[in-house]
Chain A
Amino acid sequence: MNTLLEPLVIQASQSTPYVHFDPIKGVFEISGRSTPEHPTEFYSKLNTWLAHYAGHPSMQTIVRVQLEYFNTSSSKCLLEVLRRIIHASKKNGKVAIEWIYEKRDEEMRDTGKDFSELVGVPFSIVMTG
C-alpha cells in the first residue's frame, strides 16, 4: 500500500480530461475529453506522478478510462500513460483496465480494442448509457 504519495487530482477543462489517481485504493480515473494543442504539457504531469507511484504501487491497480473524444496528439500520450501504469503496477501487483464507451459509440469501443492490443493487456470494454 502506498501511504506517502498524494493522490493526483486534476479538474477537467474544456480541452483536458478529469484525472483522479488514488494511490491508496489503486484506482485511476481519466474521463471527459482530451483535445489540448500541446498534450505533452498536460500528460507529463501524469507521467511524473506515475514515476513516483512505480516505487510503491498498490497490490491491485484499476484503471477506468471514460473519454468522450480525444484528438490524435492526445492518443499517443494516453497510450504512453497506460503503458507506464501497466509497467508500474506489474512490479508487485495486478492491473485491470476498464475502457468505458457511450452506447452506440462503436468508434470509441474499437479504439479501446486497438489500445488493448498496443499495450498488450486485455481491457474490459464496457458500454454505458
Chain B
Amino acid sequence: MISEKTTDEFSALYQTMHNGQVLLTYKGIINFELVNSLLAAIEPKITFHEDDLRTRKAVMNVLVECLQNSAHHGDSIPASKEYQELGKLTLLLVTKTKNGYKVYTGNPVRKEKVSELRDWLETINVLSPEELRAAYKKILDKGEFSEKGTAGLGFLDIARKTGQRLEYSFAEVSSDFSIFSYTINIPQKT
C-alpha cells in the first residue's frame, strides 16, 4: 500500500532536517490526547532554547496548529487493519536552526481533500502581510466551523505568525490517501 518512493522521500527529508538541532521527533498516528502530551513535552525545550517571548509564542502557536491539523486528518483514517501502515506515516519534526526554528509535518489526507488544500495554500502564499490580516479577520468574522470543528484559519495564522511562504507537497500513497507534508520556517524575531 505504501510506496517505497514516499518512504525514501521521508528519509531524505529527515536527514536534511536532522542537520539542525532536533528538539522533537514523533512518528505515528497523532490523536487529540497526544497533541497535549507532545505540546507539554516540547514547551520546556522551547523555553530553554528561546529567550525571546515573541519567537517562543510563534513556535508554540505554529505547533498547536500543526498538531491539531494532523489530529483532524488522522481522524479520517479508517480504523481497519489495512490502513494501519498509513497511520504510521504521520511525522512531526521540530529543529532549532541557525536563524530560528523549523517544523516539518507529514500526515495522510484523503485524496479528495488534496485539490482544496492545495488551492487554499496557494491562495495564502501570494498574500501580503496586510492581505493575510484582512483575510484572517474576514474568516473570523464569519464565525463558521467546518464539520470537524476546525476554523479554516490555521494555515493563514501560520503564514501571519511566520511571515514565510508555506512549503508543501503531496505524495500519493494509496488509492484513497496522499501524504501531505509541509515545512514551516519560524524566523527568530528581532
Tell me the A residues contacting B by CB distance below 8 Å: 14-15, 35, 37-40, 68-69, 71-73, 75-76, 79-80, 102-108, 110, 114, 117-118
Most central of A14, A35, A103 by chain B CB within 10 Å: A35
Identify which of residues 128-145 in chain B touch chain A, using a CB-to-CB cut-off of 8 Å. Answer: 133, 136-137, 140-141, 143, 145
Which residues of chain A are near B53, meaning CB under 8 Å?
Answer: 102-105
Q: Which residues of A lie under 8 Å from residue B68 when comparing CB positions?
A: 35, 37, 71, 73
Interface digits, B66-95 against A, CB 8 Å rule (1 contact, 0 not)? Answer: 001001000000000000000000000000
**CA of A68 to CA of B47, assembled, Å:** 14
Selected from B32, B140, B149, B153, the residue in CB contact (under 8 A) with A118 is B140
Q: Are B140 and A76 in contact (CB under 8 A)?
A: yes
> B residues within 8 A CB of A107?
54, 57-58, 161
B57 and A40: CB pair below 8 A? no
Residues of B within 8 A of A (CB): 32, 35-36, 39-40, 53-54, 57-58, 60-61, 64-65, 68, 71, 133, 136-137, 140-141, 143, 145, 149-151, 153-154, 156-157, 161
Q: Which residues of B contact A114 (CB under 8 A)?
A: 133, 136-137, 140
Q: A35-B64, A75-B140, A76-B140 given as contacts; is B57 within 8 A of A105 (CB)?
A: yes
Query: Is there an interface contact between B36 and A14, defined as CB atoms closer than 8 Å?
Result: yes
Asked if B143 and A15 make an inter-chain contact with CB atoms under 8 angstroms apart, the answer reads: no
Q: What are the 3 A-B residue pairs with the smallest beta carbon separation, nearest first?
A: A72-B153, A73-B151, A37-B32
**Chain A residues near B137 (CB-CB < 8 A):** 114, 117-118
Q: In the complex, what's the smallest C-beta–C-beta distance from B111 to chain A, in angstroms?
A: 24
Q: Which residues of A contact B156 (CB under 8 A)?
A: 72
Please give, as numbers and ranges, the residues of chain A lying within 8 Å of B64 by CB-CB distance. 35, 69, 71
The answer to whether A75 and B145 touch across the interface, beta carbons within 8 angstroms, is no
Q: Decide if B54 touches A104 in the complex (CB within 8 Å).
A: yes
Not counting A14-B39, A35-B64, A73-B153, a sample of 17 additional A-B residue pairs whose C-beta atoms are within 8 angstroms of each other reads A35-B39, A37-B149, A71-B61, A71-B68, A73-B149, A75-B153, A76-B140, A103-B53, A104-B54, A105-B53, A105-B57, A107-B54, A107-B57, A107-B58, A114-B133, A114-B136, A118-B137
Residues of B within 8 A of A69 (CB): 57, 60-61, 64
A-B contacts, 16 of them at CB < 8 A, read A37-B35, A38-B32, A69-B61, A69-B64, A71-B61, A72-B156, A75-B140, A76-B143, A76-B145, A76-B153, A79-B140, A80-B143, A105-B53, A106-B54, A108-B57, A118-B137
Cα–Cα distance between A75 and B39 once the two chains are bound (Å): 19
How many angstroms from the CA of A76 to the CA of B65 in the assembled complex? 14
